[in-house]
Chains A and B, each alone.
Chain A
Amino acid sequence: MTATLESTSDTLTMAGALNRALADALGEDERVLVFGEDVGTLGGVFRVTDGLAARFGETRVFDTPLAESGIVGTAIGMAMNGLRPVVEMQFDAFAYPAFEQITSHLAKLRNRTRGAVELPIVIRIPYGGGIGGVEHHCDSSEVYYTHTAGLRVVTPASPADAYALLRQAIDSPDPVIFLEPKRRYWEKETVRLDHRSSTLDRAVVRRSGTDVTLISYGGALGITLEAAAAAAEEGYRAEVIDLRSLAPFDLDTVAASVRRTGRAVVVHEASRFCGYGAEVAAQLSETCFHYLEAPVLRVGGFDIPYPAPNLEKHHLPNVDRVLDAIERLQWDDAAPLTNTEA
């Protein structure tokens, strides 16, 4: 570690890294505002905004009336008038009352006004399952947003990325749906507090490998990495890509990997049908068809409403299901263990 890196890094949980990113953004730019339900005195139900109201005052960080459509709708007006709102939706499914504002206005105003209206708004949404939450607290709602042109959709899977991506999101001239995988809120890591270290829309290779590419993001990245480690014991060297940005999709990074490995599995928590993996698989079959040794497989949740907590473990993808998918990739046709690149 270099001296400069040391002086600008800290060990933080993901929630702590997000808090730090908000504090740094509020400190650097007067136009940044943080508001939503319980984000003030309480510091958010996940404490992501802890201490910000006390530090920056009630005009910069504040509780709103309980109305998601109101929160996003007023954020749009504020952004039209020069501010940079960062708003919180308390849980994934509680963002749905704001869907009209997000899809019909937030996403479209730039396009409609031929670029005259810019909406640099970040909507933070804790999403996904794996924490035993009751109904409406566990949805993986990413594709509602990725399907909507005009929105950027990002999801960090580590504290370091959480910090960097949130800083980039706040700087973005476009609206960003910032999905926070709540099951990873409490994970710790050393975080570089130099937000220029990251761009908003690049995927990163988390583990190198030569036999198969595992593509994942957010809450499912953990089991994907575990599966890659387990696969190594069985002789498969899996490359793991963390997408980080779901819209735009970093095809270059993913396709470059798949062209080397010839095999791909997409892993996510959301239901598989019309899930994000379907888009990845389609793009890979369009661009890498001649490199593929096998169809692109998807491991996702079942096509059911998110189940009650006590059955959630059967619904969520697990290491075994990823390993099964790896095995199903018709290894007989190739020679996975003789690859000399590794």
Chain B
Amino acid sequence: MTTTERTAASFFLPSEEPLGLINADGAPVAEPALEMPADDVLLRLHRAMVSGRRFDAQATALTKQGRLAVYPSARGQEAGEIGSILALRPQDWLFPTYRDSMAVVARGVDPVEVLTLLRGDWHCGYDPYRANVAPQCTPLATNTLHAVGFAHAAKTKGEDTVALVLLGDGATSEGDTHEALNFAAVWQSPVVFLVQNNGYAISVPLSKQTAAPSLAHKGVGYGMPSVLVDGNDAAAVHAVVEQAVARAAAGGGPTLIEALTYRVESHTNADDASRYRDRAEVEAWLTRDPIARLERYLTDRGLLDDAAREEISARAETEATSLRERMNTDTVLDPADLFRHVYAEPTAALRRQAEDLTAELSLGAEE
């Protein structure tokens, strides 16, 4: 293991204001630290965000129809979810949380497979090795250490793989996050930590979560470059994550990024956000909508016209319809599945229990 050179703290410090490339009005901002993504990238970001939001709305609708047990919406966080994913290379890995279904879909996993967990059919509906996406994690911050271990293994094996781990502002308080940041910095692991600071951990506001000037500051003490970015600016998120991925891939070690954003909906469909925040606060954030601002920028630049916009939303609608139709069938589950995959080979005890259940069910069927 190589030891890290100690570097002046200032090198690791995030900016005081979040970095941005396109402001809330859709106007470009001069930001020397970042490069505006190419036009085709911006167009891809826009299209994927529109699809992502439509997917999110569809998933929320499915909870109302009882098709999903629960869904944590990421509406308003499209720039963080999509901006980061589109900055990954195919060989890179994503370590997402329960909130990041949109990112997992953007990574190429079939939305029905993504929703299998939330529908309640199985604890993970996709094969992580197919799209390089770890199972979505529910216990907070546990994915941070998995990402570091994965990236460390890749580095040890000489593979060019970077791990992107997503976490929330609340999760930064867990011990696992601190251990992960420290391991990653000491090992110089190719990891990008992206904290989506959406203001609340269920009901607890950021002010009760941390006293640090920003969550990005948390990287400084561990010795890693730390970036504060406007989390509603897809261009900026994309640029920042791309830089961090490139540095990690080149052996430059981990980066901590805080994307400043807002959770527009409740924590999940089961939560009542009016208990802990004002409507006015939500309204204020709605004016910083990530999709509207990129749309404005692209339109002003002549890269997007009404016809294109219609085509994009029609496409998102088609995807949502297909998702709805496929989610509207009752899945038939095999109770024997309970005993599969507990061990590589079922133990004798599990085989007996499976037989017992089969007997019980066939008896029930006869009655």
Residues of A within 8 A of B (CB): 37-38, 40-43, 45, 63-70, 93-94, 96-97, 132, 134-137, 273, 302-305, 307-311, 314-315, 320-321
Contact = CB atoms under 8 A, between A and B. Distances in A.
B168 to A, nearest CB: 9
Which residue, of A70, A135, A320, has the highest number of chain B Cβ atoms within 10 A?
A135
Contacts of B201: 37-38, 66
A264 to B, nearest CB: 20
A145 to B, nearest CB: 18
A134 B117 contact: yes
Contact of A63 (B121, B204, B331, B349): B204
Contacts of B238: none
Given A134-B69, A310-B119, A65 B210 contact: yes
Given A308-B120, A311-B337, A66 B140 contact: yes
Given A69-B175, A309-B69, A314-B357, A42 B275 contact: yes
B203 A134 contact: no
B138 interface: yes
B333 interface: yes
Interface string B326-367: 000001010101110010000101100100010011001000
Contact of A67 (B174, B347, B360): B174
A93 B338 contact: no
Interface of B: 69-70, 117-123, 138-140, 170-171, 173-176, 201-204, 208-210, 275-276, 331, 333, 335, 337-339, 342, 347, 349-350, 353, 357, 360-361, 364
Given A63-B203, A136-B139, A303-B350, 4 more contacts: A42-B276, A65-B173, A65-B204, A68-B174
Contacts of A305: 123, 342
A68 B140 CA distance: 10
Given A38-B202, A42-B203, A134-B138, A315 B338 contact: yes
Contacts of B347: 303
A311 B203 CA distance: 31
Nearest to A96: B139
Which residue, of B120, B171, B210, has the highest number of chain A Cβ atoms within 10 A?
B120
B69 to A, nearest CB: 6
Nearest to B364: A320
B208 A311 contact: no
A67 B169 CA distance: 12
A303 B202 CA distance: 33
Contact of A65 (B208, B335, B357, B360): B208
Contacts of A314: 335, 338, 357, 361
Given A93-B139, A307-B338, A41 B276 contact: yes
A311 B275 contact: no
A41 B200 CA distance: 12
A65 B168 CA distance: 13
Given A38-B204, A135-B138, A65 B117 contact: no
Contacts of A68: 174
A63 B117 contact: no
A135 B174 contact: no
A150 to B, nearest CB: 23
29 contacts: A38-B201, A41-B275, A43-B275, A63-B203, A63-B208, A64-B208, A65-B204, A65-B210, A66-B140, A66-B171, A66-B204, A67-B173, A67-B174, A67-B175, A68-B174, A70-B173, A70-B175, A97-B139, A134-B70, A136-B139, A302-B338, A302-B353, A304-B339, A304-B350, A308-B117, A310-B119, A310-B333, A314-B361, A320-B364
B21 to A, nearest CB: 31
Given A67-B173, A70-B175, A302-B353, A309 B140 contact: no
A38 B174 contact: no
B204 A132 contact: no
B169 to A, nearest CB: 9
B351 to A, nearest CB: 11
Which residue, of B117, B118, B123, has the highest number of chain A Cβ atoms within 10 A?
B123
